[in-house]
């Protein structure tokens, strides 16, 4: 039995569905960037295409910035509501409330306001990035601000909750 026949027999065996044979195709090697396609045999799906080691279906910078703007705006809205609750609580105290109690709420409101402004800055920088047509360093700034905003929101929520409940 030849090797070719052996492969055909393997592909027709009942357990053949457990085996996946990959076909690697490299096109336009002389031109940079070249494209590498990987496709499994016997599948109807399209090949995943890699260009310069990057998956073609991976999100592009524009997609990441648009998602960051949306998430940053939504989380900023939640922080604004949280700030409103803190300010409403402060205004509900009577005039004879001890300064130590008001001080905790004052600090909490300032921290929450700072996180809200960071979130707004993240959205603004992302929007300006879209308007300006992009750029790698500006993209890094946009993503960094979003990550700082996200971490600030999580940190402020935990810190304010623990600080005010410790009371």
35-87 residue pLDDT tens: 555 555 554 444 455 555 556 666 788 999 999 999 999 999 999 998 998 99
Mean pLDDT, range 89-101, rounded to an integer: 88
143 compared with 9, residue with greater pLDDT: 143
| Token duo for residue 100 | 């130590």
Residues facing 35 on adjacent strands: 27, 51
Q: Measured between alpha carbons, how far is 62 from 10 in angstroms, rounded to an integer?
A: 46
Preceding amide of 129 cis, omega within 30:
no
| Token duo for residue 165 | 């409940």
| Cα 32–chain centre separation | 30
pLDDT exceeds 90 at position 124: yes
Instruction: Provide the residue ranges of all domains of the chain, joining segments of one domain with +.
Output: 3-55, 61-166
SS3 42: coil
Q: Rounded to 5 degrees, what are φ and ψ at 27? A: -120, 155
């Amino acid at each position: 039995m030849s090797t070719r026949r052996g492969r055909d027999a393997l592909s027709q065996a009942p357990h053949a569905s457990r085996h996946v044979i990959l076909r690697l195709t490299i096109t336009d090697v002389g031109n940079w960037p070249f494209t590498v396609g990987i496709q499994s045999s016997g599948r109807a799906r399209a090949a995943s295409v890699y260009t310069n080691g990057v998956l073609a279906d991976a999100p592009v910078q524009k997609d990441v910035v648009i998602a960051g703007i949306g998430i940053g705006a939504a989380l900023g809205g939640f922080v604004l509501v949280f700030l409103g609750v803190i300010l409403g609580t402060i205004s509900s105290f009577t005039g004879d409330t001890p300064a130590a109690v008001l001080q905790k709420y004052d600090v909490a409101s300032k921290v929450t306001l700072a996180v809200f402004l960071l979130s707004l800055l993240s959205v603004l920088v992302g929007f300006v990035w879209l308007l300006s047509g992009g750029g790698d360093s500006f993209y890094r700034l946009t993503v960094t601000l979003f990550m700082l905003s996200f971490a600030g929101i999580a940190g402020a929520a935990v810190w304010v909750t623990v600080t005010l409940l410790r009371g």
